[in-house]
Amino acid sequence: MTRPAIIINEFDAERIDRLLERPEWATSPVAAALNDELDRAQMCSPQEMPHNVVSMNSQVRFRDLSTQEERVRTLVFPANMTDSATQLSVLAPVGAALLGLRVGDSIHWSLPNGTETHLEVLELLYQPEAAGEFNR
């Protein structure tokens, strides 16, 4: 199964790499999948990030194509996670799946329980790079 091309800014990639090196995250199933995503991603500087790509701290509206349920979440690092109703950790399976996707992209993603989800990015409500915030 092919996955859509993804774009990750170098600043986010460096912070995710450091996070994945920490013992509490290094052996998680999501860490392996996220490492694979970083390996295949096109890297760019924060200033060059297209404004339709999900980056860290982006607020994204997405749909689970299996259930047709829509959600709006802000993609955050685990240490910044304060409210699961409005935020989604990049180390959660769905968070890892959304990182780097463009509006309109969909992706099939394996979940730790052995099932698979199919997600579609509908809209970016906020993206730090589009707002001129390059160090978030």
Strands 116-126 and 42-44: unpaired
pTM for the structure as a whole: 0.93
Give per-10-residue mean pLDDT for the chain (136 aa).
85 93 86 89 95 97 94 96 95 94 93 85 96 82
Residue found by looking up tokens 């970083």 in the block? 38
Output the pLDDT for position 89.
95
Kindly state the tokens that stand for 105. Answer: 């992209």
Q: How many whole angstroms separate alpha carbon 103 and alpha carbon 130? A: 14
Residue 3: what pLDDT?
A: 80
Whether the CB-CB separation of 46 and 11 falls below 8 Å is answered with yes
DSSP state of 73: E
Encoded tokens for 122: 């509908």
